[in-house]
Amino acid sequence: MKEIYEKLNKDPERRGELGPESRFKFNCHKGIACFNKCCGELEIFLSPYDILRMKRRFGKTSGEFLVEYTDMVVTDKNKLPFIKLRMAEGKQCKFVTKEGCSIYEDRPLACRYYPLGFAIGKRTMTEGEDFYFLIEESFCKGFKEDKEWVVKDWREREGIAKYESMNSDWIEVILNKKLLGKSVVPDEKTISMFILGAYDVDAFRVFVHESKFLQIFDLNDEELQLITENEEELMKFAHRWLRYALFREPTMYLKNRDEVNEPQKGSGCSSCQ
């Protein structure tokens, strides 16, 4: 991805930006010569909602899924861990078969977007508006097909809006400018908090119900019932907790409202606040 940004920055006027109404030609099917080739020699980073969908599919806890199927990567720029899908031997996705993706209904967001890329320009190296671009790999024959798409229709077909909605608070965390300073070095506790709230929804459920969490934070009965019964809502709640815990954003409230903006002793990212 870094190489893509560098390429885009070389000529801002001609960097292939696409908008929701832009058109492109692409089609992928079993009969195409390069079928499944895009599922090898790649890195697939998983969003929290990807992890939730995939761990459900395999009937595992989020912790079990993370251990069995993923690797953790910490970037120099962001300093918080990202989750990468562990590839099979030969760097091939372990879920691809001769017939295509074996988990197609629950495939990750990155796979749904392909062959589109999406750049959040206002908070990246490009410092512009958000935009889409085509990921045109030399081996891909799909761009020679006659099928034409509008970007917004591709997004709708792939169910992308649902994924982006579920990940929205997590995106606010990982793109928070407080993490970009050279002096910001999250400690082990901060990193553990981030992993818990971002990726391990099953462990976070235990944290909420078996710690002093409900004695500290102000949740009404309806909200408590919602996060108890709905795993997706629990995940989004965990991401809002991260925004409060790491940056003291007003996404959560303490039962003692006088302390709402006061850090709890030993909590949060001291260098991020």
Specify the pTM: 0.86
Domain boundary among 163, 188, 203: 163
Three-class secondary structure of residue 217 per DSSP: strand
Domain boundary among 140, 163, 186: 163
Could you tell me if 124 and 234 lie in one domain? no
Could you tell me if 21 and 153 lie in one domain? yes
- What is the rounded distance in angstroms from the CA atom of residue 254 to the CA atom of residue 204? 18
Q: Are residues 227 and 209 in contact, defined by beta-carbon separation less than 8 angstroms?
A: no
Could you tell me if 36 and 133 lie in one domain? yes
Could you tell me if 83 and 36 lie in one domain? yes
Q: Are residues 155 and 41 in contact, defined by beta-carbon separation less than 8 angstroms?
A: no
Q: How many domains does the chain have?
A: 2
Q: Are residues 81 and 71 in contact, defined by beta-carbon separation less than 8 angstroms?
A: no
Please indicate, yes or no, if residue 272 is contained in any of the structural domains.
no
pLDDT at 250: 94
- Range(s) of the domain holding residue 48: 2-163
Is residue 115 reached through a cis peptide bond, with omega within 30 degrees of 0 on the bond before it? yes
DSSP symbols for 128-180: S--EEEE---TT--GGGS--EEEHHHHHHHTTHHHHHHHHHHHHHHHT-GGG-
pLDDT means over runs of 10, the chain (273 residues) = 40 67 95 92 93 98 98 81 91 92 96 91 54 92 96 97 96 86 81 96 98 95 97 98 94 76 49 50
